[in-house]
Structure 1
């Protein structure tokens, strides 16, 4: 999947946080919803401008970030 088709970063939108293209829905918000137990169905129902593909792009984006070592090390 080419996540760049779905995720953008624009300094004029949410201070440049990565968002779903054409929306003000941040990747951070989607991850927060998922981490608190929301299902994919609940997210899509609550945010109709999203698609299944745009949600999948979130994970492709995160994978690319980790592969490029764009993460904070976890200390024990």
Structure 2
């Protein structure tokens, strides 16, 4: 079983979805990407998040969207 990428805990950032083991909201990554910033720029600003976590989150989001469209 793989480690969860996202954590939602009422005691961490009021339950906002964050990258597991960090206090970095998932929304922050989405905001960076929406603004045209790269994953590398995001990772430079949030070193507690790993590239593996970002890629796994994006893959899970893609899989969820593709499954919902089927």
Fold shared per TM-score above 0.5? yes
Which consecutive unaligned segments of at least 5 residues does structure 2 have? none
Following superposition, the deviation at residue 25 of structure 1 comes to: 0.4
Count the aligned residue pairs.
68
**Could you list the per-position Cα deviations for residues 29-69 of structure 1 after superposition, in whole angstroms to 9, with x for gaps in the alignment?**
11011100110111111111111111112213424554686
Kindly indicate whether structure 1 or structure 2 has the higher relative contact order, using CA contacts under 8 Å at least 6 residues apart: 1
- Structure 1 runs (4+) greater than 4 angstroms displaced: none
1:3/1:60 contact within 8 Å kept: no
Q: Flag the structure with higher helix content.
A: 2
What is the TM-score with the length of structure 1 in the denominator? 0.70
Alpha carbons of structure 1 residues 54 and 14: separation in structure 2 relative to 1, 3 Å: same
Name structure 1 gaps, 5 residues minimum: 70-76
What secondary structure, in the 3-state scheme, does the structure 2 residue paired with 1:5 have?
Answer: coil
Tell me the equivalent position of 1:73. Answer: none
Q: CA RMSD in A?
A: 2.3
What TM-score do the two structures reach when normalised by structure 2?
0.75
